[in-house]
Structure 1
Amino acid sequence: MSKLPNISTSIFSVMSQLSVEYQAINLSQGFPNFPVDDRLIQITAKLVHEDVHQYTPMAGFPPLLKKIADLTQKQYNRTVNPITEILVTAGATQGIFTAIQAITKTGDEVIVLDPSYDSYEPSILLSQGVPVRIPLNDDYTVNWKAVHQACSSKTRMIIINNPHNPTGRIFTQTDIEELENILEQNPNILLLSDEVYEYITFEQKHISANTRKKILSRSIIASSFGKSFHITGWKVGYLIAPENLMHEIKKVHQFLVFSVNSLSQAAISQYLDVVDLDQIASFYQKKRDYFRRLLAPSRFKLLPCEGSYFQVVSYAAISDENDVDFCKRLVSEFGVAAIPNSTFCANGKDLKLIRFCFAKTDETLEAATKRLITL
């Protein structure tokens, strides 16, 4: 008997396979197709010949843990203990899975805001928890009244994703205060804040849970070097959590992966000495603005993109098809792969919205939009 009977093949796998089948331009899956920073390549090449090929300590490569603590202090003015409050993970997805397994028990409810990253629900189900999926409003703002009403004595955790995938929205000050009010009224609920796109924000920075003193003692924060440094295949992320929560998370982590790739950790540790993370946002803002200009002549309506490297568009002026069928036809007839937003929602609500990834070379974006403006 399946432990995940209602979980099918990921939409990302489906669209990427169709992209290969039709030799389409893949703007569906969220990975960059431009070169990695040459400085990181050189650091890695040098380290290959050094003694960094055995297990690191379970929690992470000590110099990297210290660099993460320094980074957190610099970016968020938060002091964290590198030994007891940080865990290097095999990508943020593994970190999120591990945190949910460690914290959620049989029958515990976990609130998820839809549309949501597709790993959240399986992680909850495998911990014998109960996902409570609450749709965002049609403009992708949060219905905090619905979140508040969903909280009960069974609620163990609320998961947020800020900046948000797939919508590209970021939480406002009011959103954060509403969240804090809910947590204050429900002292047994923990927060899992997925902030993997934290360095990819545009007109304004996202408000990190790292900066909210009211809820720090109840927050687990997930970050991703893969997203920040466009090295998604390296699968290196990290969690920050108070010591009492991290103690439980590490119990699961040690039997899941024990320790993360040693060469990658050593390379990232040294790279943090030379890279300017503040330049990441401006790099991707240029990508976003260029892609939006290229799409402007089309019949697609562009929704706001405040963070992440995803652009949501409405195709309502082009077709009445549901979003899954439209994306399949977009691949087969026009040679561009996108992701249908309804697949991120438990209720499958179809708003005629699809998601493009603009973390691509200018040449790729130009080639894709030449096809898209013909619709």
Structure 2
Amino acid sequence: MRLPLSFFIGLRYHRAKNSNGFISFISASSTLGIVLGVAVLIIGLSVMNGFERELRDRFLAIVSHGELEAVNPPLSDHEQLLSSATNNSQVLGAAPYISFSALVQKGKIMKALALKGIDPELEKNVTNLHQYVGDDAWHALAENQAQLVLGAGIADLLGVSVGEQVTLLLPKANQQNRLSSPQRIRVKVVGLMNAGGQLDNQLAFINLAYAQKLMQWQEGVSGISLRVVDPLKADKVVRSVAKTYPQLVYIKSWIRQHGYLYQDIQLVRTIMYAIMLLIVAVASFNIVSTLILAVSEKRGDIAILKTMGASDASLLRSFVVYGSYNGVLGCAWGAVLGIAGSFGLPKLVGLIESLMGHTLLSADIYFIDFLPVKLIWTDVLAVVGAALLLSMLATIWPAWQATRVKPAQELG
């Protein structure tokens, strides 16, 4: 394919060896800056996308989108509330639960946890908890027995395995004196919840009917949990369901309790995008220095081209091509390194963790204990497009300076 004259001149200038080594150094540094900026931005956005995916698919698979909990438990006529909730077009499912603040004990080791009594069949309408528990444990939890599904992190702390027994310390049912001794219940651990994160160190589950027996509530419950169509609108949907119920209830949603996780991810994504684009902008504006020096060095060539009939527009395009070459090259290599880094980063982090002997993301602090990555191609295109635009804009002013060269002054 025959290139236009301006492209040929621009590429020819770039391939030619510069007599000034300083120009070559600035040119290489601008290309390297764009490569690093684009690569790091792609990898960073991929990690943020991974955290957002895990928040939606893993964290919200265990935590219900919303809850309506009785102010003065038990909840009266919860079947009416369940029916009202399921009739709402924005609600995908609802399930009753009983919540406890409890201590679990094995030997001399004790751990505080959030204990929840659930109906395994109805719970499937609200969460995907069964996927992180296992079929055998899930079927065992359906029995009205003193059986417990324990978070894997709690089990590790206590040194408990499936089949062993632990002691639950619960507040006594209908107790008036809060200083009275708790009731001690021996339960069998029938399964472990292994979601790979913070929730493994906080949650445990028992059968709903057995929980009602402990609380002496017959058929009463603490509240109902909901799954909604759009998790980001959970607060509004839960509030609309609560308005149809006569008893006073607490309105809870994952946004109120854990919404900071989503907000932090979005904030870090925005800050990272801004910082990395500024780095790319700095690298792109190094092209300005390169072109200014190149124009100064090639003033004689420009004068000769003008005397041969080259138009100002043609010269402008030639030096835009000359300067943009670094941007295109930097964006191409940056995209390649960014994509490769996104796919290889989890393995690299795993290798570092194995060498260090501990995890970089502690399950005690973060909602997951591994580094997730999700590469979205539209992000790659947006980053590369923004970097290319900045690098091309940086060439316009120095290229325009080339059109102001006066042949009579240079060749006189």
Confirm or deny a common fold (TM above 0.5).
no
Q: TM-score range by the shorter chain?
A: under 0.3
Larger radius of gyration: 2
Structure ranking higher in helix proportion = 2
Please, what TM-score do these two structures have when normalized by structure 2?
Answer: 0.24
Name which structure has the greater RCO, CA cutoff 8 Å, separation 6+. Answer: 2
